[in-house]
């Protein structure tokens, strides 16, 4: 039975309306200043000195990884644009009051804090070449972002469900490493951001779950399409301040080597989504959709067998010098 896309979009809007509660009310929401020295205090010099001292235990690799996350978060303008480019789901006026419009602005407002907080943290530690970081952010926003979702809302919701989980895992891992190194302030920052990503993940996953309920064939074909294309990291078009190195490859290798985001995590997320949306148990699919269902169910095991060789290949590549920390 063919499903009318407008009906599905209406269903998505309905579920979005019920999930707006996943956005924190502004008067209860955390803000970057809650985690940083208060520059209006008499003791600001001592406070900042203490703050900087605490960051000395962070390794260059962890800093590079944190900078990569900061840059990723800072390219928010590209992501919000993309969110409103999914056919049928849009904030048409910029102040529209339909659920999706409210969601996309509320989501962006929460995400905006991530880049702000990480950026200020990096700046205050004095450990990072902030100009180099800013130039990379500038390049990344100019280079753009293509989640390869063809403006299709199903593809887009699969992408966002995947990516919110990926960022949740990577921020949580950074928190763990920061604490282990002895930097509890950074640990608190990263785990707080991971908490936001977890709420966003819950929302996008539930939006897509509704699509699976009302248009299972369309949903499964979209999932297959996105998995075959592979889910690209949002910041994969980042470029080096002077264009010399592939900084994204460098960032990925460092994240892989520290276990912050690995190919194994990628496969875990794939498997998680297959289970979450009950792909194996969808009934009544025929033709192309049935083939896609079978293919998706085989994918996690297929990729899992390749984890060791892919990760070994990645870690064998030279990492080079880190442009964001004075080419050390
Ligand atoms: Fe974020
Ligand atoms: Fe996010």
Please tell me the predicted confidence (pLDDT) of residue 240: 73
Please tell me the predicted confidence (pLDDT) of residue 241: 60
The pLDDT tens digits along the chain (328 residues) read 568 888 999 999 999 999 999 999 999 999 999 999 999 999 999 999 999 999 999 999 999 999 999 999 999 999 999 988 888 898 999 999 999 999 999 999 999 999 999 999 999 999 999 999 999 999 999 999 999 989 999 999 999 999 999 999 999 999 999 999 999 999 999 999 999 999 999 999 999 999 999 999 999 999 999 999 999 888 888 877 666 568 888 899 999 999 999 999 999 999 999 999 999 999 999 999 999 999 999 999 999 999 989 888 887 777 778 889 987 8
C-alpha 69 to ligand 1 mean position (Å): 9
Active site residues: 30, 73, 111, 114, 164, 167, 196-197, 200
DSSP structure string for 261-288: S-HHHHHHHHHHHHHHTTGGG--S--HH
Q: How far apart are CA 276 and CA 205, in angstroms?
A: 8
C-alpha 160 to ligand 2 mean position (Å): 8
Cα–Cα nearest to 211, from 6, 2, 8, 67:
8
Please tell me the predicted confidence (pLDDT) of residue 72: 96
Q: How far apart are CA 293 and CA 289, in angstroms?
A: 6
Domains along the sequence of the chain with CATH: 15-325 (1.10.620.20)
C-alpha 108 to ligand 2 mean position (Å): 9
Please tell me the predicted confidence (pLDDT) of residue 245: 66
How far are the Cα atoms of 34, 43, 53, 56, 259 from residue 50, in angstroms, in the given order?
16, 11, 5, 10, 29
C-alpha 212 to ligand 1 mean position (Å): 26
């Amino acid at each position: 039975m063919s499903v009318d896309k407008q009906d599905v979009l209406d269903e998505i809007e309905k579920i979005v309306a019920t999930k707006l509660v996943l956005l924190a009310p502004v008067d209860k929401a955390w803000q970057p200043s809650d985690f940083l020295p208060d520059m209006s205090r008499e003791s600001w010099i001592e406070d900042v000195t203490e703050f900087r001292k605490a960051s000395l235990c962070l390794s260059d690799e962890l800093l590079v990884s944190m900078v990569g996350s900061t840059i990723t978060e800072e390219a928010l303008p590209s992501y919000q644009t993309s969110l409103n480019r999914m056919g049928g789901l849009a904030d048409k006026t910029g102040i529209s009051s339909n659920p999706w419009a409210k969601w996309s602005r509320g989501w962006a407002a929460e995400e905006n804090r991530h880049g702000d907080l990480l950026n200020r943290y990096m700046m205050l530690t004095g450990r990072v070449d902030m100009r180099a970081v800013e130039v990379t952010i500038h390049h990344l926003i100019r280079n753009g972002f293509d989640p390869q979702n063809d403006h299709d809302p199903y593809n887009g919701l699969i992408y966002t469900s995947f990516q919110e989980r990926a960022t949740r895992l990577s921020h949580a891992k950074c928190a763990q490493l920061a604490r282990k190194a002895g930097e509890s302030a950074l640990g608190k920052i990263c785990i707080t951001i991971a908490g936001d990503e977890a709420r966003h993940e819950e929302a996008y996953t539930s939006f897509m779950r509704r699509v699976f309920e009302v248009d299972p064939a369309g949903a499964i074909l979209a999932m297959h399409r996105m998995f075959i294309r592979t889910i690209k990291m949002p910041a994969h078009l980042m470029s080096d301040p002077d264009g010399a190195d592939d900084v994204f490859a460098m960032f990925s290798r460092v994240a892989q080597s520290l276990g912050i985001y690995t190919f194994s995590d990628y496969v875990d997320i794939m498997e998680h989504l297959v289970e979450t949306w009950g792909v194996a148990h969808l009934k009544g699919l025929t033709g192309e959709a049935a083939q896609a269902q079978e293919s998706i169910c085989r994918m996690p095991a297929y990729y899992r067998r390749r984890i060791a060789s892919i990760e070994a290949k990645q870690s064998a590549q030279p990492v080079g010098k880190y442009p964001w920390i004075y080419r050390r």
